Every structure is written in structure tokens, then in C-alpha cells.
Chains A and B, each alone.
Chain A
């Protein structure tokens, strides 16, 4: 390579790296930090162009990181002063801590904040509710997605009760052409999030049990929690062989390739299955026990957008946030990302049938959020991380449901006064 060519190549590489480093963004250019790396196309092709139709002078860059790295990265970026202008907010304590450290700006003065209910805002408010520091975007709902062909092949109906659910799984297992349930425990979080938090609300009666855990009147060693672990343990016989080493993407692929009948889902899985599955699939909520008149679902406030308190482009960022409170964004987001349900009060038509099925449960079931998120994950050991480990172990069969309850309770009792 001659020197000239080399110099040109170097210049090109430098130019490319400058273009790619959001740090170097010029004034008035907004950078959105997010863990939703799956959504990069939707932001670039739909949301940002729609915003630019109204505000062509504000450039927006969506800059996501892998989900499991996000919290660590965003903390490091704030510490180093290199965080973007708009920060995607995890619910509750992770974002509250960012606000307390002065990294997130209060957003109460954003016009359109009253388009969100108090429940929607609760995940991004100070404990006394006086300051809201992130703009609620969406919630996700848990349930089960099923392969319609597999249900036909085994001759089973969509289950309405817990007994019907396990009878159906037994039948599918007996029939033998499909894996009854696609999930693994290798990544640990599926066991807690799609397992424990999915079927649990039917046992602890949603918000009632979640609040009772917070005020200390219920403990993890109580019946509802041990029963949830016991039901979780029974999943082992329906999971694919070697489920201990099956990761989340493995399970997604098993289902979308049509090899499994039921998939314990978060509603966010819908868009992946829409693009990959070549069969018809539907969804049903976690089936309650026979004779119980109420069903409970996990309708988890999951994602919001905050403003970096030190952003040099705060004015432009507020314009973007105000635009996000409108009905256009609500409908765009809910439909571009089937499975993420807008938290605003705007009436939104959802065209995707499965996403529509998920959101319809809000009418017939009671909604709750994951019980480990508010307040209870504030100390060490961290309850959410403990539940990942414990739930995975319950399914792996290395701890009994009773031991699991004791482990979760003793972790909480170590630092949380109402449980001491």
C-alpha cells in the first residue's frame, strides 16, 4: 500500500469513526440511549422520520446497547460525562438513583405529562410522588403464546384454567410431535420473568400481594409464593431436553421454527415471531385456578424516556419529549412494536391480532407489575437478581419450592426492615 492510499484510508477511517461516535454529535443533534437494540430499525425508519416531519431541524440518533449491559454502561457514561441527551429509563430504582445523583432532569413541566395516569407514572417518580423524571412509554404484558397447529395436532383447546393448561401440556407431550413448552434456564432471567412473575400474580392476587410484600404482611415463605415455585418446578417435565443449557434465543428459535407448542412469553416477543414464525400463533393469559373469579396479569411498566440533566441540547430534547406525549407517537409506537403497549391515555387502535389479544386482558383481568421491582430491589442481596437464580434453580430441580421461598425471604430479611 502506498503512503498516499494509506493516508486516504486513515482519513476515511477517522471520518467514519467520528461519524459513529455519538459523543461528537453536533449541537442540536439528539442522541437517545437505549437497551432496545432490537428496535433500531423501527426508530430509524418510522419514529424519527415521523418526528422530523414536524421538526425537520432537530436531528435524532438512536444509539442502543445490548440489554444486559445497559445499566452498567449508562452509569459509566454518566460518570464519564458522555451520556446521550435522552436516556431510556428502566422502571423504579435504577432510574430513581440516576435522578437522585442529579443525572436525570425533572420532567413535570413537560406539556402533555397529564396524558399519563398516576399508575403509569409511578414507576418513574420519587417515593413521595412529587417529581416525575421520565416520560412513560410502554408496558409489557406476560402470558403464553401458543402454536395453533400444535394445539390442533394434539386436539387441545386454549386452556381457561390451570388444570386445563396442564392437561393440554400432558396431551401434547403424549402426542409427541411438539415440545410442550419452549423455555430454558441458562440465562436465568426467563425463569423469573416469564415463569415466576408470569404465573405468580394468580397466586398472590396481583397488586394485593405485591403491596403486602412491601409492607411486610406477606413473606416469600407464605403459601402463594411457595405454590408459585411449586408450579414452576412442574414445568421441568414439559421443557426440551437439556433445558438447563438452553438460552433465551434458543427458546425463541425453538418456538418460531415450529418445534414447540407453548412459549411462556413477554408481549415483546410478538414482533420476532411475526417476522419468523410461518405458522399461526395465538396467546392466552396465565390460567387461574378452577373456580377463581378473577384473573391477574403482569402488565409491567417497563420503559420510559428521561432527559440527561447535563444535556447541552435540553431545549430540543424537551421538544422531542413533548412530541412523545401526543397520540401520534402512542399509536406509532404501539403498532410499530406490537407487544409494547403505550401507557398514555390516548385511545390507540392496535392492528396486530396477537398484540390486541394481549392488551384485551387489561379489560377482563386485574393488572399488576413485577413484585420485585418497587422498593424490594433496593438492598443487597438484590431481590430481582435473587429471583433469577432461585427460579432457575427451582426448574433445574436443585432446590425445592420451600427452600426457594426461604432463600428469597432470608435475602430480603437481611436489609428490608418490614421483613425482619
Chain B
């Protein structure tokens, strides 16, 4: 009767299981699921000036995706968001992986000091990060010019945050600088979980540290890398704060730094003389949700299932 033991245990445990799940479920439903559904509901309504809220079906979606002005703004913010995400994937995550690999080298000294320093920017408020970098890169007061001058590269300096071509990339790099600590910590933790005997065996077989990293450690932390990627995706498509702190909700110059978060803010709350439109804002928010959902589903079905996992 080997099976009956755990079965009875499970039945007995049922009540406590629900009791323990209840707080999280209730809070999650109240503060996440209900607002989400209600904001999707709001996107099917419109409120004419001074009038009553009226159901309009998919009209708001038709406006955002069909009206030439709105759709140009929407797709502009979408592609800017893709670029923002691409920079994070191509710069932040490889740097995070590389730093984690270096930190996990057995002979490294001052490991904890480095680790603390690298995670530090992540703990700063976005407003402070935006302010610091605006000062560093300021063409009037910035130390950026002076630092380049030391290397004789002063001519390379430009008002990067103010140029249409470079503002978004510059902001992406600032965001990378701030958030690189997160992939670093997650991957570092995964690397620590790899048993030493695997590494030792490879070293005995004559592998260099780089080969060990490439052929043993990296495949083993690949599931973590995939998880970091999806967190980056969700985080980037929900981003708003840094752009708002540095460029304001009008995301200049000429909307070159406008991402979906700033578009949502402008639409929902309004900006300066433009009045907010909660229904259209909710429509933008719902579209953001759909885009993020599509990305996450793609990850779940196309990526996560194919990842090889090893029992260590």
C-alpha cells in the first residue's frame, strides 16, 4: 500500500492548501485580474465631452489601428519599443552573461565587491538615473565631454539625447546600464548551482576556462537565459519611467523616443493642452497587453519546450 499514504496526506492537506492559496489569489484577483479585465472593458466604450459613457464595440481599436495619424503614432511607438528591446537583448543580456561568467571564476578576488557595484544602479530610482545621465551627457555641464577630451576624442561628442537619430539608442544604453544587474544576478545564481565536479572533470580533460564556459556552463544556464529574455521583453514593453523622466511625455525630438508606455500615458492622461481620453488610453493599454501576451505565448510554446534541461 505504498500509494495510500501520500493520497490520504493530500486529502488531509486540501483545506490548508486552499487556505494558503487564498490570500495570494484574492489579492491577485482584486489588484491584477479585475483591473486588467476592467481596462479591457473600458476600451470598448467612449465618453463624449460632457456626455454619458457609451458602448462602441471595436471603434477605439479601429481608430488606433486604422486612422492614419493614430496608427502612425502607434506603430512608431511599437517599432521604437522593438528597438529598445533589441538593444537590451543584444547588449544588456550578453554583458550580464559575460559578467556572471567572470564572477563565477574560482580564482577571482573581491568577488562580492564587484557584485555589489554591478547591482548598485539597479537599486537607484529611475528619476535619479535619468537625472545623472542627463547631467553626464549634457553639452553644457556634462563630464562626458571632458572624459572624451582626455582620450582626444572630444570631436566625437554630440548632444546625443537631443538628436532624432541617437536619442532612443542613448536612452536604451542608460536603461541597460541601470538594469544589467538583474540578468547578472539570475545567471550568476544559476552558474553557482553547477556542481564543481563537472567543471573539474573538464579542466582535467584539458579544457580552458573559456571552453568550460561555452560548452558546459552556458548550455546548463540556457533555461535561465531564456527566462531573463522573457523578463526583458515584458519589462521593456511596459517601460515608461526612464523616457518620461528624461524626455517627458511628448518623447521628443519628433517622437523618436516615444514607446508604448509614453503613448499610453499621453492618450490616457492627456498632456499640456491635450485632454486625456480614458477609453482610447485603455485601448492602447489593451493593445500593449496583447503584444506582451503574444510574446510570452511565443516563448512558452516555441522556445521553452525546446530547451534541453539537465538534471544536475
Residues of B within 8 A of A377 (CB): 273-274
A97 and B49: CB pair below 8 A?
A: yes
Q: A94-B275, A97-B275 are in contact. Are A71 and B270 (CB under 8 A)?
A: yes
In whole Å, how far is A191's beta carbon from the nearest beta carbon of chain B? 10
Residue of A nearest to B134 (CB): A247
A71's contact among B140, B163, B272, by CB below 8 Å, is which? Answer: B272
Q: Which of B140, B158, B274 contacts A380 (CB 8 A)?
A: B274
Per-residue A-contact encoding for B266-277, CB less than 8 Å = 1, 0 else? 000111111110
Are B140 and A186 neighbours in the complex by a CB distance under 8 Å?
A: no
Judged by DSSP, the binding face of B is loop
Q: Which residues of B contact A243 (CB under 8 A)?
A: 139, 159, 162
Of the residues A79, A385, A398, contact of B164 by C-beta under 8 Å: A398
Residue of A nearest to B139 (CB): A242
Q: Is the CB of A373 closer than 8 A to any CB of chain B?
A: yes
CB distance from A82 to the nearest CB of B (A): 15
Residues of B within 8 A of A383 (CB): 273
Q: How far is the CA of A90 from the CA of B158 in the complex (A)?
A: 37
Which interface residue of A189, A243, A372, A382 has the most chain B CB atoms within 10 A? A382
- CB-CB < 8 A to B176: which residues of A? none
Q: Give residues 56-77 of B contacting A (CB, 8 Å).
A: 69
Q: What is the interface size of chain A, counting residues whose CB is below 8 A from a CB of the partner?
A: 46
Residues of B122-175 whose CB lies within 8 A of A: 134, 137-141, 158-164
Instruction: Indicate the member of B141, B159, B247, B276 with the most A CB atoms within 10 Å.
Output: B159
A184 to B276, CA, bound (A): 28
Contact with B along A206-225 (1 / 0, CB 8 A): 00000000000000000000
Interface-central residue, B141, B253, B273, B276, by most chain A CB under 10 Å: B273
Number of interface residues of B (CB under 8 A): 34
Q: Is B219 in the interface zone, CB < 8 Å from A?
A: no
CB nearest neighbor in B for A90:
B273
Asked whether A246 and B162 contact (CB < 8 A) given A389-B254, A396-B253, A414-B69, the answer is yes
- Report if A352 contacts B (CB, 8 A): no
Is A28 in the interface zone, CB < 8 Å from B? no
Contact status of A68 and B253, CB under 8 A, knowing A377-B274, A380-B274, A414-B69: no
A72-B276 in contact given A185-B253, A244-B253 (Cβ < 8 Å): yes
Query: What are the residues of chain B within 8 A of A245 when measuring CB–CB?
Result: 137-139, 159-163
Pairwise interchain contact B140-A246, C-beta atoms closer than 8 A = yes
Answer whether residue A388 sits at the interface, using C-beta atoms and an 8 A cutoff. yes
Q: Which chain B positions have C-beta within 8 A of A71? A: 269-272, 275-276
Measured CA separation A92–B278 after assembly (Å): 21
With both chains docked as a complex, state the minimum distance between the C-beta of A23 and any C-beta of chain B, in angstroms.
20
- Does A49 lie at the interface of the complex (its beta carbon under 8 Å from any beta carbon of B)? no
Is the beta-carbon distance between A75 and B269 smaller than 8 angstroms?
yes
Q: How far is the CB of B302 from chain A (nearest CB, A)?
A: 38
A88 at the interface (CB under 8 A from B): no
Q: Is B50 an interface residue (CB 8 A)?
A: yes
CA A203 – CA B130 in complex, angstroms? Answer: 39
Please tell me if A360 contacts chain B, counting CB pairs below 8 Å.
no
Question: How far is A79 from B219 in the complex, measured between Cα atoms in Å?
Answer: 52
Question: When A189-B272, A377-B273 are in contact, do A240 and B139 touch as well, CB less than 8 Å?
Answer: yes
Kindly list chain B residues whose C-beta atoms are within 8 Å of the C-beta of A381: 69
Query: Which of B140, B159, B252 is A389 in contact with, Cβ under 8 Å?
Result: B252
- In the complex, what residue of chain B is closest to A101 when comparing beta carbons? B50
In the complex, B121 has a CB within 8 A of chain A? no
Interface residues of B (CB under 8 A from A): 49-50, 69, 134, 137-141, 158-164, 247-250, 252-255, 265, 269-276, 278
10 closest A-B pairs by beta carbon, nearest first, are A242-B139, A244-B162, A245-B162, A72-B269, A245-B159, A242-B159, A382-B274, A384-B273, A100-B50, A377-B273
What are 15 pairs between A and B in contact, CB < 8 Å? A71-B269, A71-B275, A72-B276, A75-B276, A92-B273, A93-B275, A100-B50, A186-B247, A245-B139, A246-B162, A380-B69, A381-B69, A382-B273, A385-B250, A385-B273
Residues of A within 8 A of B (CB): 68, 71-72, 75-76, 79, 90, 92-94, 97, 100-101, 184-189, 240-247, 250, 253-254, 372-373, 377, 380-385, 388-389, 392-393, 396, 398, 414
7 additional A-B pairs beyond A243-B139, A384-B273, A393-B253, beta carbons within 8 Å, are: A68-B249, A72-B265, A244-B163, A244-B253, A250-B141, A385-B250, A414-B69
